[in-house]
Structure 1
Amino acid sequence: MKRLKIALLDDHAIVRHGLINRLQQEPDFDVVGVYARSREAMAGLAMVPVEVLLLDFVLGPSELDGILLIRALRVKYPQCRILIFSTHHDAATVILALRVGARGFLGKGEDINQLVSAVRLVASGEVYLSPDMAYRVAEATAVNPVGEEQNRDEALRFVTLSAREQDVIRCYLAGMTITDIAEKFNRSIKTISSQKASAFRKLGVVSNNELFRIKHIIDGI
């Protein structure tokens, strides 16, 4: 029997332990990499290639994660199929993750047995979304296909930034520095930086230039 090589990246030890126990019950699954940090995963995959990587979308504040990590993995390991599992699974996040190369998206609230099915489906070359998630994604992208830029703009309209993330991003777009924003709202620089990073992750942007290019969308969020 050909065994399917799988790796997983999650920053919570309990989650890793539970996933390993369930995946190893499958006779054709071989969990060959278990990582808590994105840097460990990037290095480990070079030594032990896998067919499917289970990837938590949101890691710790100092970690490369989300859209940035998916992009990096797709460049360095194009043969590895990425299955995202996350508590953050709004339509916009799913759309952006799939657009940059993920092959499936699973909410952490779904049944663990569904994860097993998703791994097999993604390994076979298919894309996995639960029926409910597929419906929400289809509803969010039900626009005329006029081009990738417009499709991305439509997806971004469904992004949900917290009130504080909106405050930070709008002030930043207005030309304020992180220090200025911290003083304005009486928050620490570390808190403001974390809120900016969280907003970047949700918006799928990787630089200040990309943020300014979608300013017209943010104004409507």
Structure 2
Amino acid sequence: MKPIRIALLDDHAVVRHGLAATLAAEANFEVVGIYARSRDLIAGLASAPADLLLLDFSLNPDELDGVSLIRALRVKFPSCHILVLSTHHDPATVSLAMRVGARGFVGKGEEMAQLVKDIRKVAAGAVYLSTDMTYRLAETVTSDTGQGRGDAPDALVQAELTSREQEVIRCYLAGMTVSEIAEKFNRSIKTISTQKTAAFRKLGVTSNNELFKLNKLIGTP
């Protein structure tokens, strides 16, 4: 049987090396990469592809992580299944990660035997969430609907940028200010600011630095 190639990303050395040692001992598992930095992960996956990536959702402040990293990985390595392993596993975080491309989400309190089963399931193409998390997500949706908010919050909606939002981001990455972009396209500064904010939300970034880091990682023109 073909081995399941696994890559790990976690900024805690004890966690990543402990996981690597345990998973490498499992039948049919091959650990092909152990990474502490998102940039090293992306470079490594290009040269040593993985079938499944075990990804820590929250890294050091200077690292691209969370939603932005998952989006970048889905662009660069669409065939690599992402299983998030994180201490942050509240329903909102889990829902957002799944909507932008993760195939599963596991809390760091998970038993190792169960994690091994989760990895096999996600690597086979299935989606994994614990029964408890599935119920919690269902309760969240039911609660929102009951309060007259049937639509998911904008931050949880995976959507493509509109053509005008693409224009704004392209010009912004080229070094233009909001005022210069407004003048270029003959739109108001308020309109450009609104379109920039909407684009940031859809891209999963919350700051200018995150946008530039995302652009570097995925090589957006």
Structures share fold, TM-score greater than 0.5: yes
Rounded to whole Å, the distance in 2 between the matches of 1:30 and 1:152 is: 39
The equivalent residue for 1:69 is 69
Kindly provide the amino acid, as one letter, of the partner of residue 206 in structure 1: V
Confirm or deny: 8 A CA contact 2:8 2:54 kept in the other structure. Answer: yes
The equivalent residue for 1:217 is none
Correspondences of 1:165-180 after superposition (within 5 Å): none
Kindly provide the amino acid, as one letter, of the partner of residue 107 in structure 2: G
TM-score normalized with structure 2 length: 0.67
- Percent identical residues: 60
Confirm or deny: 8 A CA contact 1:82 1:103 kept in the other structure. Answer: yes
RMSD: 2.5
How far 1:208 sits from its partner (Å)?
A: 5.8
Correspondences of 1:173-188 after superposition (within 5 Å): none
Kindly provide the amino acid, as one letter, of the partner of residue 101 in structure 1: G
Rounded to whole Å, the distance in 2 between the matches of 1:71 and 1:150 is: 22
Rounded to whole Å, the distance in 1 between the matches of 2:83 and 2:128 is: 8
Secondary structure of the residue that 1:8 maps to in structure 2? strand
Moved more, 21-30 or 89-98: 21-30
1:34 aligns to 2:40 (yes or no): no
Gaps of 5+ in 2: 158-199, 209-221
Correspondences of 1:1-221 after superposition (within 5 Å): 1-142=1-142, 150-153=151-154, 205-207=204-206
Kindly provide the amino acid, as one letter, of the partner of residue 82 in structure 2: I
Q: Could you say which structure has the larger radius of gyration? A: 2
Per-residue CA distance 1:21-56 (angstroms, 9 max, x = gap):
210121100000100000000100000111100000
Rounded to whole Å, the distance in 1 between the matches of 2:138 and 2:52 is: 25
Confirm or deny: 8 A CA contact 1:140 1:155 kept in the other structure. Answer: no
How far 1:153 sits from its partner (Å)?
A: 4.2
Kindly provide the amino acid, as one letter, of the partner of residue 49 in structure 2: P
Secondary structure of the residue that 2:95 maps to in structure 1? helix
How far 1:2 sits from its partner (Å)?
A: 1.2
Secondary structure of the residue that 1:7 maps to in structure 2? strand
TM-score normalized with structure 1 length: 0.67
Rounded to whole Å, the distance in 2 between the matches of 1:2 and 1:26 is: 13
How far 1:204 sits from its partner (Å)?
A: 8.0
State the aligned residue count: 161
Kindly provide the amino acid, as one letter, of the partner of residue 58 in structure 1: S
Provide closer, same or farther for how the CA distance between residues 95 and 127 of structure 1 changes in structure 2, counting only shifts above 3 A: same
